[in-house]
Amino acid sequence: MTMKELDRSTILNKIVDKRLKQVEVANLSGITSRQVKRLLKLYKQEGPAGLVSKKKGRFSNHRLPDILKEHVIGLLKVKYSVILDRC
């Protein structure tokens, strides 16, 4: 868990204990009350683990294929190998 997720966990726990209201948490956190409501639902269902990003450890949707990356690196090595040999 990141520090941001830990902070959210403690704040959401205050809502569950009825020490703070959703609107107050939204203002303190700099997020909308709708997002607080969504996070609170996850927190009640899954506990603090529900606040961890589901995208963690996954590749970006815009990532280029590894074969393209290897091809570009190969081209760069061929084109600039003469310069690298002089150094």
- The pLDDT confidence band at residue 59, using thresholds 50, 70 and 90, is confident
Percent of the chain with pLDDT over 90: 21
Whether residue 60 has pLDDT greater than 80: yes
Q: How far is CA 1 from CA 11, 28, 77, in A?
A: 15, 20, 40
Q: How far is CA 20 from CA 30, 31, 37, 60, in A?
A: 15, 15, 13, 36
Q: Which two tokens stand for residue 29?
A: 């956190």
pLDDT tens digits, 22-45: 899 888 888 899 999 999 999 899
- Whole-number pLDDT of residue 45: 92
What pTM was estimated for this model as a whole?
0.60
Q: How far is CA 38 from CA 13, 35, 59, in A?
A: 14, 5, 24
